[in-house]
Amino acid sequence: MLRKDTSQDISFILPDTIALHPVNNEPKLQQYAEIYSVTFEIPLEAVQQQFGFYNAVLIDSEDIHTNAFLLYEHGDPVATGAYYAFDTFSIENIGTLPEARGKGYAQIIVKKLLQEARKL
């Protein structure tokens, strides 16, 4: 028999030096693409081609099925992650710039995405 595990804590506390924001405008979309490019070692031009329609969907505030977040350290974007919620909920594109790795930022983003899943 399967049962839902509700014991997992997905809360987190952000230090004053860290901010987490949705990708909801063109400048943040560019930052997202740049982090993705560096993290996954894909040329920026290829990233921009790869996402195509996805860019417009991300910054559409009415679309709850697709969202991405940027994590900022001291005001600089250093990590990202996204979700797609259609037939299933999928966490995608978790990436942290090399110089910001090892600080738990991917864990914070995953927890944020899981919180969004619970809302949906």
CATH number attached to the domain at 18-119: 3.40.630.30
Q: What are phi and psi of 73, to 5 degrees?
A: -115, 120
Residue 97 to residues 4, 53, 56, 101: CA-CA distances in angstroms?
34, 25, 24, 6
**Hunting for tokens 């804590």 — which residue is that?**
9
Average pLDDT over residues 24-44: 93
Structure confidence at residue 3 as a pLDDT band (50, 70, 90): very low
Q: What is the pLDDT of residues 46-96, one digit of tens each?
A: 888 877 666 766 777 677 788 899 999 999 999 999 998 888 888 999 999
Residue 5 has pLDDT above 60, yes or no: no
Distance between CA atoms of residues 77 and 19, nearest Å: 9
pTM of the model: 0.84
Structural domain boundaries in the chain? 18-119
Query: Residue 38 pLDDT more than 90?
Result: yes
DSSP conformation class of 119: H
| DSSP letter for each residue of 32-78 | HHHHHHHHTT--HHHHHHHHTTHHHHHT-TT--SEEEEEEEETTEEE
- Give CA–CA dist 35/37, Å, rounded: 5
